[in-house]
Amino acid sequence: MSHTNFVVSGLTAYIEQSRDLLLKYILFGKGSRERMSIQTGVKYKEHLHIFDVDPVFGDGSDCGFSAAGTATLTERLIQVAPINVDMEICPKNLLGKYAEYEVRMASTDNPLPFEEYLMEGIIAGINRKIEKAIWLGDKTQSSDAVLKWIDGIVTLAAASVTASTGVISVTMTGLNAYTGVMAVYNALPEVVLEIGAEIFVSPAIFRAFVQSLVNLNLYHYNPGTPEDEVFIPGTNAKVIKTYGLAGSYAVIGTYGRNLVFGTDGENDSEVIDAWWSKDDRTWKLAVEFNMGVQIAFLDRVAYGAFGSAPAAAAGVAAGVAAIAASNDTIADVLDDVHDDTNHAITTKASV
């Protein structure tokens, strides 16, 4: 049987003491979920009940009552997938290693060696995979152990671009990182810009976009805090480095609260546990939870995808290079200006 070798460390009874906190880190941990709406109590499928209120002005110069305006209730179905992580750890793997002092082989009282850091490592790994599934999940990817469970934001957006009131499609083939991101920004409806647009891109595209700001001599751009987001100069819109989009050419423009992460989070369907198995003489760990995502308002999303990894905008440096490569070099231009100036002085003197 294959067992997990130790690469991290921990403290006795850490899981028992911190069970609720560990589950919170998994279900509501750092990353995109900090920006998204959270829908709890979802055990399989549940509708998102969305209000869109439109009050209407009327003539108030006279008495009377004339009802106007609408409060429209719409529904979007969010479906979660049950996920489990089962691991088995053999303490004997540490015998003969520098950490063997952590191993006790007694028939009772066998604490899990390096428990705290082991769980921190497991939770960090689970969160990285949740982040990837949130964005790139695709239930047609049956061979991918991370992506096959749910349809992520990119999959949902791509499937909705053909609807008349659906996601706004943006053509980005052949564009550089700057012009591509700006194409998504310019396609967003006013309501998104008023709320505060957030444009989600992969780390690679984010780096190319920031380099574009430098190349274009936009040195006054206002970087966000922390350094994984940056304001588009002259706007309140942010471009956000999104680790769940790593390796993807997709660009999603909307605002974070328009994206919904669904889970249960309200009863015993979430599990995190560790126990010593006397039968196998190993430690066993079990983590169980469910997850899913949905887009609340499809018509408040602009979606595009680069055809390949986009380059940074060429900017000022390219313009100087173009001049240098032209028939008139910079030196030629300066000589022409010098000759014209001398000619003007000579002409004035002769007059």
Domain ranges in the chain? Answer: 14-53+73-305, 316-350
Q: Is 33 within 8 Å of 263 (Cβ atoms)?
A: no
Give the pLDDT confidence of 93-123 residue by residue, as tens digits: 544 444 444 444 444 445 555 667 677 788 8
pTM given for the model = 0.74
Q: Which two tokens stand for residue 117?
A: 């850091």
Give the pLDDT confidence of 285-320 residue by residue, as tens digits: 888 889 999 999 899 999 999 999 999 998 655 544
Give the pLDDT confidence of 71-96 residue by residue, as tens digits: 554 567 888 898 888 888 776 654 44
Confidence grade of residue 189 (pLDDT, cut at 50, 70, 90): very high
Residue 221 or 269, more confident: 269
| pLDDT at residue 302 in the model | 96
Residue 33 or 132, more confident: 132
Q: Which CATH architecture has domain 14-53+73-305?
A: Alpha-Beta Complex (3.90)
Side chain identity, residue 40? T
Is pLDDT above 80 for 172? yes
Is pLDDT above 60 for 251? yes
Is pLDDT above 80 for 25? no
| pLDDT at residue 239 in the model | 96
- Highest-scoring range by mean pLDDT, 85-89, 226-230, 273-277, 281-285: 85-89
